[in-house]
Amino acid sequence: MANVEKNALPMKNIDDALQIRNHLLIQLEKATRIHDVSQRQKLLNIVIAGGGPTGVEVSGMLAEMSKKIVYKDYPEFKEHQLDIYLIDAADKLLGSMSQKSQKEALTTLGKLGVNIKLGISVKDYDNGIVSLSDGTTIETATLIWASGVMGRKAPGLPAESIGRGRRVMVDGFNKVIGVEGIYALGDLCYQTADTNYPNGHPQLAQVAIQQGLLLASNILKTQVGKPMKSFSYKDKGSMAIIAKFKAVVDLPKGFFKGFLAWLTWLFIHIIPLVGFGNKAKVLYNWFWSFFTNDPTLRLIIRPEEDDK
């Protein structure tokens, strides 16, 4: 969708996240100077496309921000706070997770006031209007795209090696199908040889890490003439944070939610940070934000280019 590509804000990496933060703060600043109620509401409406973990996490966080931070910083908005819409073409949130997690996400976000629209897809976003497949529209200055990951183009690979979402088709050893000596791993690859995942693996960090480790050991094996081992994903579980003190954790043999799940999410995401100093700093910042509901980083940072 060309208009969506042009006008929506993607949520895929740190640059995107900074861009979204700047954009949202700018819309809030603008809204303080607009007295026309409908024009102002347009700036305070936020539409998020995609009800996977990213969309759920972003909408929960913005709903909390609306309730606990925005009204403090902008007393003008007491009556017109952020209106958050979460849209998904499927009939559930967190489609890749358990039914219990899906239900919990729906209930928690509903309680936070997020307008959830399921079974409906975004069709267009032009002139500040999001058009939906049910014929309705939402006026907004902000459409956050939290759906689907597309691989970068890999020019030179034969067309038959490229699958859905530009994922590169690989065999059980992560070797690209149709060419010699090229391997693809993680999000970028599409592997159907793993009997438990005939439709490919979920695009998760654990898949990428496990494939990377196996490929490294397989390449070493080939150097000493030993046979390579085929990849089989070991699911350690998945989780999503929904709101403050609320998260869901799906384990291969169980499910838990609430405060314990939230603590688990924080712990698991602190562990891989590089260096003790970073871990301590992030932990301290989170602690401070969670206690005070007052994160300090409300800076609008824009590259010079944009200002010109």
Ligand X SMILES: Cc1cc2nc3c(=O)[nH]c(=O)nc-3n(C[C@H](O)[C@H](O)[C@H](O)COP(=O)(O)OP(=O)(O)OC[C@H]3O[C@@H](n4cnc5c(N)ncnc54)[C@H](O)[C@@H]3O)c2cc1C
**# of chain residues touching ligand X (CB under 6 A):** 13
Q: Which stretch binds ligand X (CB under 6 A): 39-47, 101-109, 130-138, 204-212?
A: 204-212
Cα-flanking dihedrals φ and ψ of residue 80, to 5°?
-120, 75
Angle (CA) 98 99 101, round 5°: 65
Task: Report in angstroms how near the CB of residue 307 gets to ligand X at its nearest.
Answer: 26
In the set 5, 29, 57, 79, the catalytic residue is 57
> Rg of the chain's alpha carbons, rounded to an integer?
22
176: which DSSP letter? B
Q: What tokens appear for 291 in the block?
A: 């206690």
Pick out residues in 144-203 that bind ligand X (CB under 6 A): 152, 185-188, 203
Among 32, 81, 121, 206, binds ligand X (CB under 6 A): 206
Question: Does residue 104 have an active-site annotation?
Answer: no
CB closer to ligand X out of 229 and 236: 236
Interface stretch with ligand X, choices 36-44, 70-78, 87-95, 205-213 (CB under 6 A): 205-213
C-beta separation of 122 from 4 below 8 A: yes
104 binds ligand X (CB under 6 A): no
Instruction: State how far the Cα of 285 lies from the Cα of 38, in Å rounded to an integer.
Output: 36
Minimum CB–partner distance for residue 58 and ligand X (Å) = 8
CA dist., res. 82 & res. 70, Å (int): 8
According to DSSP, residue 52 is labeled S
12 binds ligand X (CB under 6 A): yes
74 closest CA partner among 112, 109, 34 = 34
Q: Give the residue closest to ligand X by C-beta.
A: 186
Q: By CB under 6 A, name the binding residues for ligand X.
A: 11-12, 54, 152, 185-188, 203-206, 208
- Which residues have a catalytic role annotated? 57
